[in-house]
Structure 1
Amino acid sequence: MRVLVVYCHPVETSYAAALHEEVLQGLRAAGHEVDDCDLYAEGFNPVMSREERLGYHDVPANQRPLQGYIDRLHRAEAIVFCFPTWCFGLPAMLKGWFDRLLMPGVAFDISDPAKVRPMLTHIQRISAVVTYGRPRWMAWYMGDPPRKIITRYMKRLTAAQARVDYHAHYHMNVATPSQLARFKTRVGQAMARLA
């Protein structure tokens, strides 16, 4: 399967970086073709410009600034997100990827605004590897936006056809080395089973 990995963390020595490497190793060991999109390493610009917003509904001209990223998304049969949760949301860089890339003509057809149609129907699998600084109950209390974006919004863009899994490690602020190691192992195993 062609898997697009969307990774977002600025520090190469972070636990997120270790999880990212585990994701890549697990997928490659399973024989998947992996496209590793490291947003920070690639210098992705998360800011939607005034011109982009004005042309947001102008399909296909709206796609020109991001054509390379769009091509990668269209080639993918699966997508794996790997990121930390900051302030109970997506990191700004990743939020910008969603804002700029998932546009009319790419992620959905809005030619009839009363009947918006999903366009990521080629995506068969969606997965996420996510860390949280606070416990699960606190994320739940805050509405857990990252979980909803991955498990609800992304799935909807595939016409609810994609299978979705969400691997979360909560309460990183008090995690022990053995807990982190166990979660990392589980992530690698999950990626090796991705199908």
Structure 2
Amino acid sequence: MRILVLFAHPVETSFGAALHAKLVEVLRARGHKVDDCDLNAEGFDPVMSRQDRIDYHNVAVNRARVAPYVDRLLAAEALVFSFPVWNMGFPAILKGFVDKVFLPGVSFTLGEDGSYNPRLHNIKRLGVVCTYGGGRLLTFMMGDPPRRFLTRSMRRICAPGARCDYLALHDMNHTRPERRAAFLEKVEAKFSTW
């Protein structure tokens, strides 16, 4: 399977980077073709410019500035997000990627009547590996926006019936090495079944 891994963490020595490395290692060991997209290392520009917004709904030109990323997304059969949750949301670089690459004509179309039509049907499976600074209860009370977005909105634009595996380590601010090691093992076990 062709898998696009979207990684968003600016520090290469972080636990997030270790999770990302384990994820890619396991997927490659399973024989998948992994397109490892480290947004920070690639210098992705997450800012939606004035012109980006003006061109957003014009499918003839909207992907011009992000065409290589659109091509990678459209070539994938599965998509895996690897990121830390900051302030109950995505790191800015990942949010910008979603805003600028998951465009009309790429991941959805709008009908003449304004109807929303998903079209990213090349993506048959989603995966998420993330960490939260806050605990599970706080995350639940805040509505867990990243989980809701990825398991509902993102899943909706993918192939009908696309499965989503969401692995989250909560309360990173209080984790000990053994808990982080156990989560790395959980990531390895889950993605070894892909």
- How far apart are the structure 2 equivalents of 1:178 and 1:163? 29
Which residue pairs with 2:158 in the alignment?
158
Q: Measure how far apart 1:25 and its partner are.
A: 0.6
Q: Measure how far apart 1:159 and its partner are.
A: 5.0
> How do 1:66-145 and structure 2 match up within 5 A?
66-145=66-145
TM-score under structure 1 length normalisation: 0.97
Is the 2:124–2:159 contact (alpha carbons within 8 Å) kept by the matching residues of 1?
no
Name stretches of at least 5 consecutive residues in structure 2 with no aligned partner. Answer: none
Q: Measure how far apart 1:160 and its partner are.
A: 3.9
TM-score under structure 2 length normalisation: 0.97
Which residue pairs with 1:38 in the alignment?
38
- How far apart are the structure 1 equivalents of 2:114 and 2:63? 23
Identity value in percent: 48
SS of corresponding position for 1:61:
coil
Which residue pairs with 1:147 in the alignment?
147
Provide, for residues 124-171 of structure 1, a one-character-per-residue CA deviation record: whole Å limited to 9, x for no partner: 100000100111110111111110111011111115421111000000
- How far apart are the structure 2 equivalents of 1:34 and 1:159? 19
Is 2:22 the partner of 1:22? Answer: yes
**How many pairs were matched up?**
194
Name stretches of at least 5 consecutive residues in structure 1 with no aligned partner. Answer: none
Is the 2:9–2:83 contact (alpha carbons within 8 Å) kept by the matching residues of 1?
yes
Structure 1 residues 142 and 113, CA gap change in structure 2 (3 angstroms): farther
Q: Once superposed, which parts of structure 1, at least 4 consecutive aligned residues long, lie more than 6 Å away?
A: none
| CA-atom RMSD in angstroms | 0.9
Is the 1:121–1:161 contact (alpha carbons within 8 Å) kept by the matching residues of 2?
no
> Quick one: which amino acid aligns to residue 122 of structure 1?
N
